[in-house]
Every structure is written in structure tokens, then in C-alpha cells.
Amino acid sequence: MGKRLPRLKPTPWDLAVALCVAALACAVLFGARRGDAGEYVTAVVYADGAEVDRVRTDAPSERAYSANGYTIQVQFGPGARVVSSDCPTQDCVHTGAVTYSGQSIVCLPARIVIRLEGGAASDDAPDAVLG
Ligand SMILES: [Zn+2]
């Protein structure tokens, strides 16, 4: 789907992307199974490992974040979802919506991480810590 930039050879980022996607898939599975519905969670947005925003997800909103030359458009409430991105891999868009505390969306090219925190299981360790 969509266009991909031509790549001459695999880079370490490719491996990192593959690992993160696998980890995310597990996180989504375990997170969905835990199922603490009804509690609002906070989406914390990190760029280059630094927190840049914190958004309550109990009300709908949409914001854009830019880092490392890429811009991602994120829809909040309920949960969080990357609706569009100009990054080459589109993994963040393909991740879809996350709704449970501990789940994350990662955009590796932009080095942006959106992690859901809070809710009922705030003392619980996140399923996946990425980056
Ligand atoms: Zn992305």
C-alpha cells in the first residue's frame, strides 16, 4: 500500500523496525487480553526519547507532531491512532488504534513514540518498553 522509498540494502533500522513491530504485536495482544475498559488513559508523546506532549484520551482531539523531518497526525479519544504520516515505512499508521494503558505506537523514522499511560493498571509494568 502506498509508495516506498527505494532501498539499496537493509539498514540496522530495518531490523529495529521488524523487532519493534513484533514487540508491538505482542503488546497489542496482551494488552487487549487484559481489558480494563472504561478508564480513561493519558497518551504521552515522546520525540527522540523526550516527552513532548501529554493528552487525555477521554475527549476526541487531533494533533500533529513533527520530528526528524517527518510529521505524523494523531487522533486521540478514545485511545490514540496515527491517522496519517509522511514517514516511509507507515508502520505507525498500520499499527491502528491503541486503547489500553501500556500500549504504544512507534514511528521509527520520526523517532516518535505515543504511549498510553494511566487507567486502572497504572502500577502495572507496561507490556513493552520501546526505544
Ligand atoms: Zn511512521
Give tens-digit pLDDT for 80-100.
999 999 999 999 999 999 999
Between strands 50-56 and 104-107, the pairing is unpaired
Question: Which residue has better confidence, 15 or 32?
Answer: 15
State yes or no: pLDDT of 128 exceeds 60. no
Block residue for cell numbers 487525555? 56
Return the minimum-mean-pLDDT range out of 14-18, 94-98, 122-126. 122-126
Q: Show Cβ contacts of residue 37 under 8 Å, excluding neighbours closer than 6 positions.
A: none
Which of residues 23 and 126 earns the better pLDDT score? 23
* Domain at 12-117, CATH homologous superfamily: N-utilization substance G protein NusG, insert domain (2.60.320.10)
C-alpha cell at 124: 502495572
Q: Give the three-state DSSP class for 102.
A: coil
Name the H helices within 5-120. Answer: 12-34, 91-95
Q: Is 25 helix (H, G, I), strand (E, B) or coil?
A: helix
- Compute, in angstroms, the gap from residue 89 CA to the centroid of ligand 1: 6
Distance 114 CA to ligand 1 centre (A): 11
